[in-house]
Each structure stands twice: as C-alpha cells, then as structure tokens.
Structure 1
Amino acid sequence: MKTRNWLIGIGLVCLTACADTKSGDVSGRFDADEALAYCDAQVRRTLDELAQRDGGVDYTMMPRNIADSASHWYCSKVTKDEWCAGFWPGILWYDYEYTNDPAIRQEAEKFTASLEYLTYEPAYDHDLGFLMFCSYGNGYRLTRNESYRQAILRSAEALSALFNPKVGTMLSWPRNVAMFGGHNTIMDNMINLEMLFWAAKNGGDKKLYDMAVSHADTTMKYHFRPDYTSYHVAVYDTLTGEFVKGVTHQGYDDNSMWARGQAWAIYGYTVVYRETKEPRFLDFVQKVADVYLEHLPDDYVPYWDFNDPAIPYAPRDASAACVVASALLELSGYVSPEKGQEYKKAAVCMLESLSSDKYRSGKSKPAFLLHSTGNYPSHSEIDAAIIYADYYYIEALMRLKQMKQMKS
C-alpha cells in the first residue's frame, strides 16, 4: 500500500507526554468555561459584523469561511447545495445553551427558519442531515418546538429516498454517479445517520432505523482497509449492489488517510453505537479511533491528510481535531474506564491545543479557530477559518462542561 509514510511513534509519545502533565481527571485542568466565554464573544462579534453589512442582517446568508488573508466572514446563501448552511444556526443554539441569553436564542430562531423551505424539497444529496440536524436538531433539543420536530421528520423522510436497498447505503452525491462510475457513498454520510435514528424514535417511520444500521454495516464492511483507515468514497454497482472500489475525492490519494474522513468515521460510529448498543460497533469505532490517535502530530491537530509527503510543511486541519474531540468525549462514556480515560485525555489535549494562541482566531477574525483545510485537492479553503470547525469546537466544549458538571 503506497504513501504509508506514518509519523512512527510521534503520536504515541505525545499521547503519553500530554497524559503525564495531568493527574486524575484531566477535565479539571482545562477551563471549558473560559473557552466557551471566548466563543460567545466571537459569536457576538459575528452578529455585529452581519448587522453592519449593507441592508443589515440577511438571515438567508450564513457565515462559511474566512480566508487566511481575510478578516471578515464570507457568507453563502442557504440553498440545497450549500452543505454548510446549518452550522451557524447550530453554533447559535449551543451559545444560547451556554449563555441562556434570549437575544442569542432569537438570532438562532431567525437563522434556523431560513432553512425551513429545504424540508419540503427532495433531498439534493446526503448533506440534508448536516443542514437540518445541526440547526433544527439542536433547536428542538433546547426548545421542544413542535414545528422543529416536524421539520426534522420531513427532512429524514426526504433523506431516506437516497437509500439503495441493493447496496445497503444511501447515495451521497446523485450528481456524481457518472463521475465515480456507480453508487457513491462518502464517509461524511455517517454523520447524517443521526437524523435517521432520531426520527425513527420521535414519530418517523421505523424503516429509518433499519436504513441507518444497514448503511453503517455496509460502510464498516467496505469503506475501511485492514488497518482501519478509511477511504473517502466507496463506489458500488448501482444495479447489483456489489462493491466496486474505494477512492478519494478530498484526500491525498486513494490509499491515504484523509484526516477529516477518519474524523467523520469516529464521530459517526460513536453515534451508531449510542443508538444501537450493538457491541460490534463499539469494538469497531475503537479501532478506527486508535489508528487516528496513534499517528497524530505532537499538538494533537492533524495535518489535512496523514500521508501527505509534504509533512511537516503540509496544512493542518483544525476541523478534524474538533470533530474527533467531540466524538471522543462521548465515546469515553461507552468504553472501559481505562479506555475512557485515555480517550478523554486525548480529547482534552486536542481542546487545549485548539484553544491556544496558535489556533484561536482571537482579535484577527470573528471566527473561533484558524488553520482548517476544506478541500485541498480543489485548492479550496486551505488554512482558513471554517464554520464547521467552530461548530464542532463549541459542541466539544459544551460536552466537556457537562461531563464536569455531572461529576461535581
């Protein structure tokens, strides 16, 4: 297998070093409240910036990224093909959960409402889960607004139309079937299973649960190499359902471990175990997480692809670190106490690095974090502040804060 230029041993040494600097419960050594207060300040900066634009706040325009050379948010229109449109409303809901500020809730409601029309449309692609569950899902969790529940149920039903029973997974990109030569399923799709699981137990069709489990099982069988690293894209014969090949779309090459793809897998299978309690998923997600952890650089923030030969001069991907930190905090509660402490320590190490001056945007930009990589092969969003990094960062911080509260 080519391009396996692992940073041998570095990740394991750094894991030990980070753990050695702490004793007992490491969550007590990291100030999640300070980090959340920083996020709140940046949220308010963003709201002020949006309000000061010509015409005031346009609730159909969502913060998407800030280029390395820029100081202000580039915003994108809420459309069916703008997969990031749900993250900013989700951030606002998390900030409201932290602050209990009714003004933040009002902004969250207004930005969330701009997505509603998508719930009446056929699914354009798998990203409907990102769009609707980060926004409406968090909104319903905090408000129990019945209209939000109905919006999620409509979205889950629309998403289920992409499921191919011959293959056993959802089609990720209908527009790219010809390009890949068949039914394509990308690792990112694992995140959208959460909406199907939720809908199945909150008034939706029970078939949604079965589809999600089938997708997870099929992905587990074909989307990973023997060492538990993942392909970005699995391609299947649309008619027979047979696996054709594993390839990349956003990674270094077909056999490399694209950092955010592995992050999606860790997060996705953590959710699948939570919803099914099936031991095979818990065993599997630990293997997927461990290979990621074993090869991290010394600050716990991965390079955009673990096999880029330009390492250590390759770009980092803070967004992957945020996704994994959030996932590991949840996963730490499902595994043995020893393994749980290992995962919790790793997550806190990630958050410590992300909360340092190296990765915080600080006064330079109204985003939370710097140094994420969107789509390196397409030369898009490289070394940028990206909205989904901020979303999973504040989610991880809220999870850590709640874990600490539960212990006190």
Structure 2
Amino acid sequence: MKKLHLLILFFIAMILPTELVHAQEKFSIERADACLQLAVEQIKVLADRSADGMLPKTFDKGKNFDSESGWWTSGFYPGTLLYLYEYSGEQSLLRMAKQKLLLLEKEKYNTTTHDLGFMLYCSFGNAMRITGDTAAYREILLKGAESLATRYSPITKAIRSWDFDNFPVIIDNMMNLEFLNSASRLSGDKRFADISVMHANTTMRNHYRRDYSCYHVVDYDPKTGNVIKKKTNQGAFDESAWARGQAWGLYGYTMMYRDTGDRKYLAFAKKIASYMLKHPNMPKDLITYWDYDAPDLPADSKYGKYADYRDASTASLTASALLELSTMVKGKLSRYYRETAEQILYNLSTDRYTAKHGTNGGFLLKHSVGSIPHNSEVDVPLTYADYYYVEALMRYKDYYHALK
C-alpha cells in the first residue's frame, strides 16, 4: 500500500509544476484529478492529526487546532471528506465523515448562530445528496433550518448574525440561505424560501455600494428596521472591501439565481464579479489580497505590515462561484468566467499555495487569512479554504464533462 501511495504522489508531483500559470497555460481534467487525488491522501494525514471528538480548524506554528461542534467552521471538514468520498469512492472517507456527523447532529437545536448553513448544510446536506439517504438526514436538516429561521426578523427583513450590537447582519450570512432554500424544497414549507429571499433582497439593498463592493456588517435598529451603521469586523477599515466578504456575496447571489430563477440575482452576481475581477488591486495570479484596499495601506498604518497577505480561501470561493456562474450565461462571458476560475485553480494548485503531502498539518492549501484585525489565523491553512477548493475542483470536473 505504501508503494502505491508513493507512486500516486510521484505522479502528482510530475503533473503539478511549481510555476504560476502563464497566459498560454490551461487547467486540465488531468490536473484536476491530480489535485483531488492529492486531497484524498492529504486529508488522511489531517484525520490522523486531529483530536477525537473535535473538528479540524487550522494549523499554525507546527500545531493543529481543532474546534468543538458549535464553532462556525465545524461542518467543513466532514463536508470535504464527503466530497472526496464522492470523487474517490473510498469507503474509509465516508466512515470518517459519518463519525464527525455524530458530533455535529446536536447543532440542529442551536438557535444562537446564523452559521447553521455552514455547519449543517455543508455536512449533512452533502451527506444526503451523495448517499441518497434522505431518511437518515431529513429530520436533522429540517430541524436545523427551523433553528436558523428563529433568527429572522420581519421588521429588519433579515437574519440576525451576532447576539451583540443592535441587530447586526454580516455579508457571510448570504451563504446560509442555500440551507433554507433546500429545506423549503425538502419540506414543502414555503416559509424557509420566503425568509431566504427577504434576506437576500435586504442585503442587496443595504450592504452594497454603488461600485458593487459590499460592507462587511450592517447594524439595524431591531424596532424599526432602519440602518444604524455600516462597518467592518474583519476588513481593513469600514469603507474597505474585505476580500472574503466580496466572495461570499458573489457565491450567495449566484446560488440565489440557481435556486429561484430570479434574474435580478444573476444580474447582481455579474456586477459583483465585475467589481472583483477588474479591481486594480487584483493580483496577476488572481489569488486575492485579504482586503481589496489593503495594498494601498501605508506601511505605518495599523495593518500596513499585512498589506500584501493573500487569502486562498477567497480565491477558492471565487473559483467555485465563477464556475457555477459560467453555466448561467452564454458566449464570451461564460468563457471568461470559466477560464478565470481555471486560472485560479491552476495557481492554487502550484507549490506556492498547495502543501506537499504530509506537511501543513494535513491541510491542503496554504496562505489563508481568518481575521487580521483580531490577529487571528493569519497566513495559515483554513478548513473552509480546503472545502471550497475541493468543491471548485469537483465543479470543474462536472462542467468539463458536461461540455464534452
């Protein structure tokens, strides 16, 4: 078995060159398979390094860090295991995922967080889709959706994100709407989808600037629904464009068009994509800085020393969203989105961003950023970066075969 693994890793090393993509180079189905096979082998390393009863979160200074099930990233590791089981058919990956799902199930009762989409839909949602076992996962998903729906206010017409300030809503919350849309289809209860649409519309109206960049946080008056303040929690400053927030929005509105068929969401997603991809601070390799405005910060500013830090998690999200968006438009724009996503995937798969097998604590991608303002998870691997990277690779394979 060890010889087989060595041969696999030798093949991967041969197909994944270290240089960044040039204009004439293309991502390929062979390269996607090599990336996914590396991910299969690497996640086994992560499994061996993670504590029993916990869920992998990050790796820093030679040490793995895990979380309990109530942390917002808890669903990404089992979700990645499930994607890689779907790819490889390896039963050991499904068994490992199911072990972690046992830890997560109690979060269906959690009404203290808006992140239940990340926690439950990326895990149990994938489990139901991939295994086809609706009976095993239906009740968990619907109870979780009910818990999420308790955070919706008909006054603000949005889902509350945090339980401090007045009624804060963060752009990240767009990612949890897919959970509600799915629950509506699963249960036949229109209420879930209605909440999703109302939240998406409120966010579209209040989170976005004229250039289609978005604020991280909008704080509402819970009694009137009026906006009190627009600010950031993880970006460089209130009026900056925190990079992952832009990607949450792109992914979220692309998904909303897929789930509702409402073309206003498609038009909005296209405008967000244009802002991101044409931004003057977008690096040539398309692996974004942690904040679109960070490269302009002076060296003596509060975050100046972090100005050029990249965020692979934003790039992974963006690639996955653009691949889906490419299927929703036609002609040159479709090709532009697809080829941009392919370039991102190519560059993420080079040694600059992809860890060698057995390193990086078992995580796949290097150079992600959690929150620079909080000096938390800076320039480290992150479980959600790996999740969306693997998702993007799986989408690439699906779309590649659909085009044939």
TM-score (norm 2): 0.89
Kindly indicate whether residue 273 of structure 2 is the aligned counterpart of residue 289 of structure 1. Answer: yes
Kindly indicate whether residue 57 of structure 2 is the aligned counterpart of residue 39 of structure 1. Answer: no
- Name the structure 2 match of 1:369: 365
Alignment CA distance shift 1:30-1:223 (3 Å): farther
**Secondary structure of the equivalent of 1:316?**
coil
Q: Which amino acid aligns with 1:284?
A: F
Q: Which amino acid aligns with 2:318?
A: V
Q: CA deviation at 1:49?
A: 2.7
Kindly indicate whether residue 365 of structure 2 is the aligned counterpart of residue 381 of structure 1. Answer: no
Kindly indicate whether residue 95 of structure 2 is the aligned counterpart of residue 117 of structure 1. Answer: no
Residues 21 and 285 in structure 2, CA contact (< 8 A), matched pair in contact too = no
- Name the structure 2 match of 1:171: 160
Q: Find the aligned partners of 2:162 and 2:119 in 1 and give their Cα distance.
A: 15
Q: Find the aligned partners of 1:136 and 1:96 in 2 and give their Cα distance.
A: 14
Deviating more after overlay: 243-252 vs 218-227: 243-252
Q: CA deviation at 1:311?
A: 8.3
Q: CA deviation at 1:242?
A: 1.3
Match of 1:73 among 64, 68, 91: 64
- Name the structure 2 match of 1:300: 286
Q: Which amino acid aligns with 1:61?
A: M
The percent identity for this pair of structures is 39
Q: Find the aligned partners of 1:389 and 1:406 in 2 and give their Cα distance.
A: 26
Aligned CA-pair RMSD: 1.7
Kindly indicate whether residue 11 of structure 2 is the aligned counterpart of residue 21 of structure 1. Answer: no
Moved over 6 A (4+): none
Q: Find the aligned partners of 2:307 and 2:152 in 1 and give their Cα distance.
A: 40
Q: Find the aligned partners of 2:27 and 2:354 in 1 and give their Cα distance.
A: 20
Q: Find the aligned partners of 1:112 and 1:189 in 2 and give their Cα distance.
A: 22
Alignment CA distance shift 1:228-1:311 (3 Å): farther
Match of 1:186 among 156, 159, 170: 170
Q: Which amino acid aligns with 1:173?
A: W
- Name the structure 1 match of 2:338: 344
Q: CA deviation at 1:235?
A: 1.3
Q: Find the aligned partners of 1:19 and 1:138 in 2 and give their Cα distance.
A: 35
Q: CA deviation at 1:205?
A: 2.1
Q: CA deviation at 1:44?
A: 1.4
Q: CA deviation at 1:123?
A: 1.4
Q: CA deviation at 1:114?
A: 1.0
Residues 303 and 311 in structure 1, CA contact (< 8 A), matched pair in contact too = no
Deviating more after overlay: 30-39 vs 281-290: 30-39
Residues 29 and 397 in structure 2, CA contact (< 8 A), matched pair in contact too = no
| Unpaired stretches in structure 2, ≥5 consecutive residues | 1-19, 298-303
**Secondary structure of the equivalent of 1:373?**
strand
**Secondary structure of the equivalent of 1:305?**
coil
Kindly indicate whether residue 211 of structure 2 is the aligned counterpart of residue 222 of structure 1. Answer: no
**Secondary structure of the equivalent of 1:382?**
strand
Q: Find the aligned partners of 1:313 and 1:125 in 2 and give their Cα distance.
A: 31
Q: CA deviation at 1:29?
A: 7.0
**Secondary structure of the equivalent of 1:383?**
strand
- Name the structure 1 match of 2:251: 267
Q: Find the aligned partners of 1:282 and 1:27 in 2 and give their Cα distance.
A: 26
Residues 374 and 381 in structure 1, CA contact (< 8 A), matched pair in contact too = yes
Matches for 1:2-13 after TM superposition, within 5 Å: none
Matches for 1:115-264 after TM superposition, within 5 Å: 115-119=104-108, 121-145=109-133, 146-174=135-163, 176-177=164-165, 182-203=166-187, 205-264=189-248
Q: Find the aligned partners of 2:333 and 2:80 in 1 and give their Cα distance.
A: 30
Alignment CA distance shift 1:107-1:227 (3 Å): same
Q: Which amino acid aligns with 2:143?
A: R
Query: What do the CA deviations read for 1:96-120 (whole angstroms, capped 9, x no partner)?
Result: 001111111111111112111111x
Q: Find the aligned partners of 1:197 and 1:19 in 2 and give their Cα distance.
A: 39
Match of 1:399 among 381, 392, 395: 395
Q: CA deviation at 1:315?
A: 1.2
Q: Find the aligned partners of 2:314 and 2:143 in 1 and give their Cα distance.
A: 29
TM-score (norm 1): 0.88
Residues 30 and 348 in structure 1, CA contact (< 8 A), matched pair in contact too = no
Q: CA deviation at 1:388?
A: 0.6
* Number of positions where the alignment pairs a residue of Structure 1 with one of Structure 2: 372
Match of 1:90 among 76, 79, 92: 79
- Name the structure 2 match of 1:10: none
Q: CA deviation at 1:313?
A: 4.8
Q: Find the aligned partners of 1:160 and 1:376 in 2 and give their Cα distance.
A: 31
Residues 162 and 168 in structure 2, CA contact (< 8 A), matched pair in contact too = yes
Q: CA deviation at 1:149?
A: 1.7
Q: Which amino acid aligns with 1:302?
A: T
Q: CA deviation at 1:147?
A: 2.2
Q: CA deviation at 1:28?
A: 3.5
Residues 241 and 293 in structure 2, CA contact (< 8 A), matched pair in contact too = yes
| Unpaired stretches in structure 1, ≥5 consecutive residues | 1-16, 51-56
Q: Find the aligned partners of 1:114 and 1:385 in 2 and give their Cα distance.
A: 23
Residues 65 and 387 in structure 1, CA contact (< 8 A), matched pair in contact too = yes
**Secondary structure of the equivalent of 2:66?**
strand
Q: Find the aligned partners of 2:395 and 2:59 in 1 and give their Cα distance.
A: 26
Q: Which amino acid aligns with 1:65?
A: T
Kindly indicate whether residue 340 of structure 2 is the aligned counterpart of residue 354 of structure 1. Answer: no
